[in-house]
Structure 1
């Protein structure tokens, strides 16, 4: 029975799910932007702009999730689905003077852009510097 044992005896292999420390905050409204500016006066606020249709964006998102560790898990990280909330994405670019990219990470401090990166540059960021 060796060859068919795993197929017919009901045993299933368990999938290993990667643990993420990110507590994504959805960014879905223009009304949230003044709040983000205000929050950034006391702590860094990160905006991750993601295109759900882009393979590169999907890969970078997964790699970014691995960057958030126990040490950086309390960072405020907003998730912006730029296809569903294009008007919010446009206003983020305008308000914070950052040319649109996808994927893109924008870090706010004191109501303004402190740092930003796009594409694979995002995966090279040391998030602990924003604590």
Structure 2
């Protein structure tokens, strides 16, 4: 699993543009939260996509709270941490948080969305 650090506000526009070519995931992580660490390890353990299928972005909410707030605003999703957002065709089509974060659930949601397109 290859994470691209999300550290600059302009990256959000880049993610939106990229999501028209392939789905993008934003994982919002708090280094101060044990649940966030567990969710991150669980996600990595279940992950079986290549970067050519789906792009992954890692947002450290402690260091980049302003960007986390901007993500919440741009996609209309209340901030939580840990949190996973699936961005496709410019929109957040799925989001979940805490112990509900799962690559299997993400796959089901993505397959459901792709079957409609």
Both proteins in one fold, TM over 0.5: yes
Between Structure 1 and Structure 2, whose CA radius of gyration is higher? Answer: 1
Give the match for residue 115 of structure 2: none
Question: Does the CA-based 8 Å contact 2:94-2:109 persist in structure 1?
Answer: no
Give the match for residue 113 of structure 1: 92
Consecutive unaligned residues in structure 2, runs of 5 or more: 112-117
Cα distance per residue 1:5-25 (max 9 Å; x no partner): xxxxxxxxxxxxxxxxx0010
Cα distance per residue 1:37-73 (max 9 Å; x no partner): 000111111000000000110111100101112xx12
Give the match for residue 105 of structure 2: 125
Let me know the Cα RMSD of the aligned residues.
1.5
| Bigger helix share | 2
Q: CA deviation at 1:129?
A: 5.4
Question: Does the CA-based 8 Å contact 1:47-1:106 persist in structure 2?
Answer: yes
Question: Does the CA-based 8 Å contact 1:37-1:111 persist in structure 2?
Answer: yes
Distance 1:113 1:95 in 2: 9
Count of residues paired in the alignment: 108
Give the match for residue 73 of structure 1: 50
Give the match for residue 16 of structure 2: 37
Q: TM-score, normalised by structure 1?
A: 0.77
Alignment equivalent of 1:103, drawn from 74, 82, 90: 82
Question: Does the CA-based 8 Å contact 2:35-2:98 persist in structure 1?
Answer: yes
Consecutive unaligned residues in structure 1, runs of 5 or more: 1-21
* Corresponding residue SS for 1:125: helix
